[in-house]
Structures are given as structure tokens and as C-alpha cells.
Amino acid sequence: MNTETSPAPERADFIREIVSADLREGRCDTVVTRFPPEPNGYLHIGHAKSICLNFGIAEEFGGRCHLRFDDTNPVKEEQEYIDSIEADVRWLGFDWGEHLYHASDYFEQLYEWAVELIRAGKAYVDDLSADEIREYRGTLTEPGKESPWRNRSIDESLDLFERMRAGEFENGARVLRAKIDMASGNINMRDPILYRILHTEHPRTGDAWCVYPNYDFAHGQSDAIEGITHSICTLEFQDHRPLYDWFIDNLPVPSQPRQYEFARLNITHTVLSKRVLLRLVNEGHVRGWDDPRMPTLSGLRRRGFPAEGIRDFAAMIGVARADSVVEVEMLEHAVRDVLNRTAVRRFGVLDPVKVVITNYPEDRVEEMDVPNNPEDESAGTRRVPFSRELWIERDDFMEDPPKKFFRMAPGREVRLRAAYFVTCDEVVKDADGNVVELRCSYDPDTRGGAAPDGRRPKATLHWVSAEHAVPAVVRLYDHLFASPNPGSGGRDFFDDLNTESETVLSGCFVEPSVVDVPCGQTVQFERLGYFCVDPDSTKDTLVLNRALTLKDTWAKLQAQGRHDTA
């Protein structure tokens, strides 16, 4: 191995290799990338893959990454989306500095270039209707047919295009098309539409325009204006690349960007299409774009997934050209890894049953020192109040336990975490036979959770002092879609919705310090999972979301030698 070459970036993938070679061989001096969202919805985890790739490459190779809004379709675009996209990219941990751009910044330049194409005989105004244009376009196996307007004079096209801009015509009355090749094997090259008439206000340019460029006519030229060196996008744009290059070659653009495609992210039990996500919101299947079940960045954030976990996931899945489906458990694994390291531990009881310690003084309250994170001593300890009446988890008790159940049962001693050993002496039931109270006695010599004689109970339970407990509503989440591949086999996505994706538990109790946990910070309730405070919380009601349980099914699948699903 040659140790004298400059260090390769930490992770090599085919795009990083291209960038690395271009820099090494002098095809560019600095790498300039961009993330180009269309502001017609909230960003989802698929976008996070693209953000981590574009911003990551710029960072690793000492270049820069632009945030550019691809705002060429005012019919679907809104300021709310623009604001959320900026907030989400920042939250994910990336910074575009002063390089915030909009395709709409270039509308005047793009218009001038369109006029130049007409002058050069490479574009024309077409009067065919949208349906006719579709009909004339041909199919994958049949060539298209030329429009009768294709050979109208340059002057006539120039005049009509100017009048399109001036607002003389209705939506859909005319379009501007490139004159390329109606027989091309690539349908994108069959005289693609460059401009259409849309009498619609634009979130940024207001009513300055009533003709808007199509994506293809805006994207490459915007890249060229900004000096983008590597225009990285998903595979569905591969067939658009010849057109991308055609514009770069046929217009006096100030630089020569190149487009590279990678496979988009797909995740099991998840739909990553803004069109479907918008329907979920509009039809009320979820609480909004930021519902904790949504794969949007704002949803994942509200669910309690830290940005670091999402970045780690993006690094784990890598970048390739082959389409694949990643198991959602892998995302959960990456997030759990971060939370296990960073989340402070707290006590919470989701399904409480009362414990009364009969030999504990009625008015006594002790403050128990409990470590905040057994994985991280520097997280310190906190004080948790302990008293005569406590809540424990209902399923931590069994009156008639089977062999492998080691938790509380009549006559058996268990440890209350960081407090005392207690033994259940008596079970109190209501008229229907439900357990309503467990009367226990404690051993005062076991304070802190250890006995002087070294005896060790087989189970350690979490608890919350009844007098000090804070009531909470806890929302548990499961996959939004029951099927691993929603909508496959020709089914409607919406038929695959999981009707039990959210379970709301009321009557939960958490230790008092949880009221100080800020929104957006995730804690671990010992033995239960990771939880965060939901913004729906009020002064009187604490609402918590369960981000994840503690069970790592992905790690288990890996151990069994299963790596991916298709």
C-alpha cells in the first residue's frame, strides 16, 4: 500500500472518488455542491441522505455547499415550506453560510437565455394544447411527431414569447419548446417544454412573472451561474442528463457543471414521496407534517430522534447507484446508539400499580442519588424523592409467577433501583379481582440498593414516589404503514396504513425532574425506552412521545446474518 498519497476521505463512495479525482487531476480547484429542494413540502429522511452527501462532500474536501430553492412551480410552493426547509437543514447540522439562492433569482437571466435560443433557431413557441403535445410526443417504442408550429419563423416566436411574458395569453394557451429531436430515443430530448404560462403569484417574485421555466430549463443553468462543480441528484434524473448537457452546451453559461446520479433512499414501512406525505396531512391521517410517525425531519425531531443519529444513519447506508430498500430498524439502530450514549436516565411508570411500604414512616421523604447515565459517569447524579407510597409498573408484578418471572411476587424480595430491597407481603384487590395495591415491607439496611450481607435480588424495578409523581400522557408509536413495502403489488398506499400506529396512554407517572426536560431533548426511562416531551404539553398536562423502545431488532437481525431486504 502506498502511504505517501494524501489521505483519502474517511468514507469513499463513487461520488467521493469522482470528486477526489477531479481535484487531484485539476479539473476543478474547489468542489462546489448544492442541495436543491423544491419548496412544495417538508423535508424527509430521503432528503437528509442528499443533504449529508452534498454538505458532507463540501466539508470533507474543503469546498462549499449552496442551499438553493428550486422554486419554479408557484402553484405548489409556499413560504411555510421554505421556512421549514431552512430550519431542518440547520437542525441536521449543516450551514450554507451566505450561499442561499433561489432559482427565481435567475428568472430574468433564464428568460434572456430562452430568447437567445429562439434567435438561434433552437426554440419555438408552440400552440398545441397539453393533450396534443402529449399525443405528439410518441412513446418509448415510437418516435414523436413534429408540431405544426415547430417551423414558424423566429420573429413570430420571439413576438409570441414576449407576449406570453406580458400576460396576453391564458394558462396553457402556448408554451416555449426547445427544438431538438422528436425522434430521439430519449423522450426528454423530444422538444422539451422550457416555459409555460402560469398566472399565479410566486412566493418570492409575486406577480412579476406569468411565465415560469420548467425544472430542466432552470436547474443546470442555475448550477452554472453558481459555479457548481458537481451537481448530485437521484437516479430518476439520469435520463434528463443529456438535456442538462444540451443547455450547458448551447447557452453562454459562465461555467460547466456536471451532473451525477445516485440511488434514492427507500425505507421499509415508510413512504418517501412528498405527494403521499401531503395527502397524509391533508386527509388527517396524521397530526401534521411534524407528526412523530412521519418520516419528515420535523416529525423525526418531534419523535425525539437526534440529528446525530440521522447523520450516522446516512453514513451507514452509504451512497451507491443501485436501488435498494433499507430496513427501518437500521435507522432506529443508529438513533438508539446515539441515545444510549447521550440520553439521561429518568424514572417513569407507564401502567402504574400502587406499592405501599408498610414499615416505612408515613411522613418520611428521602432523596435518593441516582446516576444520570450509567454509560457516562460525567453525566453525574440526580436526587429522586422516595416515600412510603410508590408507583411501579403493573407488569412487574405477578401473583402466580411462572418459572422465569423474577420480578415482584408474593413473598419475594426485589430491589427498587437505587433505593431499597422490598418484599411483597400482601396483595389487595378490588371487587373484580384486579390488583389495586401491593403491600410490602422494606429492609432499611439496603439503602442505595445493596445489602450488607451481600444478598442480591434477581430483579431491579423502577419506581416513582406517588406523592411526588407528575402525571403524564404518553404516546406510543408504531410504523405508519403496516406493510414493509407500502403500495407494492398495485395496492393503494392508504390501504397499507397501520390503524394502530399510535397508542395513547393516560394515567402514566414520571419522576418530578421530567418537567425540567426541554422540548426536543430525549431521555431514557429506565427499562422502558427513549421518550421526549411533546410540544402539545401544557402547564397542566405533560405529553410525552416514545421515540424508541430499548430493543434493538436490527442488531439482532445482523447477528442472525440477515443484512437487507429487497
Does the protein bind ligand ATP through residue 38 (CB under 6 A)? Answer: yes
- Kindly report the CA angle at 381 between 375 and 383, in degrees rounded to 5? 140
The DSSP annotation for 187-231 comes to GGGSS-EEEEE----BTTTBTS-SEEE-HHHHHHHHHHHHT-SEE
Residue 38 is among the residues annotated as catalytic for this protein = yes
Residue choice 33, 50, 259, 501 for contact with ligand ATP (CB under 6 A) = 50
Q: Which of 129, 153, 238, 273 binds ligand ATP (CB under 6 A)?
A: 273
Q: Which residues pair with 438 in a beta bridge?
A: 355, 427
From 41-49, 121-129, 334-342, 481-489, span contacting ligand ATP (CB under 6 A):
41-49
The residues pairing with 454 across neighbouring beta strands, listed in sequence order, are none
From 165, 258, 274, 475, active-site residue: 274
Q: Which stretch binds ligand ATP (CB under 6 A): 47-55, 219-227, 412-420, 465-473?
A: 47-55
Of 76, 145, 264, 382, the catalytic one is 264
Q: Is residue 47 a contact point for ligand ATP (CB under 6 A)?
A: yes
Respond yes or no: is residue 346 known to be catalytic: no
Binding mask 52-91 for ligand ATP (x = CB under 6 A): ------------------x---------------------
Selected from 15, 19, 42, 49, the binder of ligand ATP by CB under 6 A is 49
Which of 15/118 has CB closer to ligand ATP? 15
547 counts as binding ligand ATP under rule CB under 6 A: no
What SS3 class is residue 564?
A: coil
User: Residue 235 CB, nearest distance to ligand ATP (Å)?
Assistant: 9
User: What is the rounded distance in angstroms from the CA atom of residue 426 to the CA atom of residue 430?
Assistant: 13
For the sheet with 123-126, list strands across it. 123-126, 175-178, 193-197, 211-213
Site for ligand ATP in 345-374 (CB under 6 A): none
SS3 173: coil
Q: What is the CA radius of gyration of the chain?
A: 31
28 vs 366: CA distance, rounded Å: 67
The answer to whether 13 contacts ligand ATP (rule: CB under 6 A) is: no
CB 145 within 8 A of CB 138: yes
Site string for ligand ATP, 238-267 (x = CB under 6 A): --------------------------xx--
Say whether residue 306 binds ligand ATP (CB under 6 A). Answer: no
Strands (E), 323-456: 345-346, 348-349, 352-357, 366-371, 381-386, 389-393, 413-416, 421-429, 435-443
CB of 36 to ligand ATP, least distance (A): 5
With respect to ligand ATP, which residue has the nearer C-beta, 32 or 508?
32
- Cα 307-312-315 angle, rounded to 5 deg: 130
Contacts for 86 with CB less than 8 Å, ≥ 6 apart: 67, 100
331 binds ligand ATP (CB under 6 A): no
What is the contact surface with ligand ATP in residues (CB under 6 A)? 36-38, 46-47, 49-50, 70, 233-234, 264-265, 272-275
